[in-house]
Amino acid sequence: MSQKDLLVLFVTLARRPHSRCVSRSIGTTFVRSVSSQERTQSKIILEQKARESAKKIPLHLGVDRNPENRSAISRIPIPRGVKGEDFTPAVLSRPLGQPNPPRPGQNSPIDKRSLSERMAEFEDYGNALQRRQVYLRTYLRPYFQEWKRLEHHKGKSFQSNPRLFRRDKALYFPNIWGQTLSESGDGPDGGRDTTPALKGKISIIGMQANEWAQEQVDTFLSAKDNPELQEIVSRNSPLVQRVDINMTKDWMASLLVKLSRSRLRKKIPKERWDRYFMIKLPRDIRRGLSDETRDAMGLLNSAVGYVYLVDSSCKIRWAGSGHAWDGEVAGLNAAVGRLIEEEKALALPKATPLGGPSIPASANYTTIRP
């Protein structure tokens, strides 16, 4: 049987209602209690609803998530995975992120819904179909797929965009919920949202899941590899800030990170503790930073480090991945300087009627030119 036939078979099985599906059992009970004509009409209506629900879920979310060798949402070229492939990461040409502004509470692993709301979602046939396809995709995904892609330029997913994405075209950085290194605690839920920390600030965000990814992020942001950026951040504080997001893929790695908090506090300056987030990548399709959200923001490989430049409205204006290539560090510094100028220009008209700037006077706006 060919690969195409297997794909059709698995997708067909994923879309076929299970004999114990709640929606199917309710529909069957109803049909048995009516006349023959009404039974036929009800069956047609149920089949139409099932087809409409299936159409809402793209085919590539079934088994083959990347049939065109591009990421499904961000459309970034990815390796095909064939032996001897010569793959070169493409220059980022499309804005990354989500179309809607982030809100605190989104992508949180904590389920605050009532029991009736949970039951309503569980009994919904469309949601059951989506869960089945996502679980099937997860089961069929090669275990070493992400590590295999490290063979191509050390896992670099894309080259950074040469210029800032326009503010009116840029997309939003999603809200992320996680624990921090803050000594004062993270609230009653044991965690914080990133959106309140990002709003009103220019944020340079580094995302990594291991020491290898941390080394990649450091090629962009560390004082050793990019001392100019450290000077920009210190001169323009608190307008410009550094944010770190440490990702873990399973409960064991998450536990090890929590146990090493004291070691992390020794390595990271105290003023950054409340902006160092520790999150666990979820297996659930609804809670946490899902596959679709990561795809939209260009985070295609959790074994690789990523850097994002986010403006005061939480929009992604620049992004980098893997080890910094020639020109990318200078491009990041120039992008930060250009964004500082832009934020200053946006703040001045609002401050004129009040007789003074709305941004603290301690913020020293510096222009960095390549």
Mind listing the domains of the chain with CATH numbers?
A: 3-56 (no CATH), 115-123+152-351 (3.40.30.10)
Q: Answer with the residue of higher pLDDT: 72 or 224.
A: 224
Look-up of token digits 């009994």: 123
Confidence of residue 306 (pLDDT cuts 50, 70, 90): very high
Percent of the chain with pLDDT over 70: 73
Q: What spatial distance separates the first Cα and last Cα of the chain, rounded to whole Å? A: 56
Query: Whole-angstrom Cα distance, residue 67 to residue 300?
Result: 15
Q: Supply angle C-alpha 227, 233, 238, rounded to 5.
A: 165
Q: Are the C-beta atoms of residues 19 and 128 closer than 8 Å to each other? A: no
Distance CA 127, CA 54 (A): 10
Residues 66 and 81: their CA atoms lie apart, in Å, by: 11
Report the side by side order of strands in the sheet with 240-248.
192-193, 177-180, 276-280, 240-248, 202-208, 306-310, 316-321
Q: Is the pLDDT of residue 272 over 80?
A: yes
pLDDT by residue (tens digit) across 45-60? 766 665 565 444 444 4
Residue (of 139, 129, 141) closest to 57 by Cα position: 129
Q: What is the pTM of this model?
A: 0.74
Residue 365 has pLDDT above 50, yes or no: no
| Highest averaged pLDDT of the listed ranges 186-195, 227-236, 346-355 | 227-236
How far apart are the C-alpha atoms of 253 and 96, rounded to whole Å? 28
* Alpha carbon 165 to chain centroid, angstroms: 18
Interatomic CA distance for residues 96 and 102, integer angstroms: 14
3-state secondary structure of 62: coil
Q: Which pLDDT tens digit goes with each residue over 130-166?
A: 777 767 766 666 667 777 788 888 889 999 999 999 9
What confidence score (pLDDT) does residue 282 get? Answer: 67
Largest CA distance in the chain: 79
Give the pLDDT score at 159: 95
**CB within 8 A of 324, min separation 6: which ones?**
216, 219, 220, 225
Which of the two residues, 254 and 5, has the higher pLDDT score? 254
Query: Which region, left, alpha or beta, applies to residue 289 given φ > 0 means left and ψ of -120 to 50 means alpha?
Result: beta
The pLDDT of residue 259 is 78
**How far apart, in whole angstroms, are the C-alpha atoms of residue 213 and residue 142?**
21
Q: Provide the pLDDT for residue 333.
A: 96
**pLDDT tier at 331 (50, 70, 90 boundaries)?**
very high
pLDDT level of residue 361 (50, 70, 90 thresholds): very low
Determine the number of helices (DSSP H) and then strands (DSSP E) in the chain.
Answer: 13, 7
* Confidence category of residue 15, pLDDT binned at 50, 70, 90: low
- Picking from 70-79, 116-125, 183-192, 225-234, which range would have the lowest pLDDT averaged per residue? 183-192
